[in-house]
Amino acid sequence: MDESPVGGALARALGPVLRDLSATCAVRAAVTVAKDFVSPGADVVMVCAPDGSGRGVSVAEHCGAAEQVADVADQVQEWVVEELCALLRPAVWPECPAHPGTHPLAAGVERGVAVWSCPRSGRVVAPVGGLGPAAVSP
């Protein structure tokens, strides 16, 4: 995984998501600055696999910090699921520990914190950026 080459809100939102990806998934991401294709002045990066395939990721400037992290987590999650599929691996990331192999965790905001939770039970598994062997509920 490369460090994010951008600053500001996008870097703050992308950092924890990339930590989770690195800690829990075989897909590796390279992050490069993309030409602005969303709106003038918006930060956009490309999150790319080693084969060059990728997806643009941006941050909604009008949202709060936790909402920005959850939104970026959703965007990266969509790309990771596609990459896992292309690698012929189960397309589940991040995997729900309560229901292995069945569905990914969902990014959202609980009590002002971006979190990964089980979409079936609603149980918070970890804050975004806190996945890995020692993941605990916030």
Q: What is the pLDDT of residues 93-113, one digit of tens each?
A: 999 999 998 999 999 999 999
Rounded to two decimals, what is the model's pTM? 0.86
Average pLDDT for consecutive 10-residue bins of the chain (138 residues)? 61 95 92 66 82 88 94 96 91 94 95 97 97 63
The full set of domain ranges for the chain reads 8-127
Strand stretches in the chain, DSSP E: 30-33, 44-48, 54-58, 106-110, 113-117, 124-127
d(CA 92, CA 28): 15
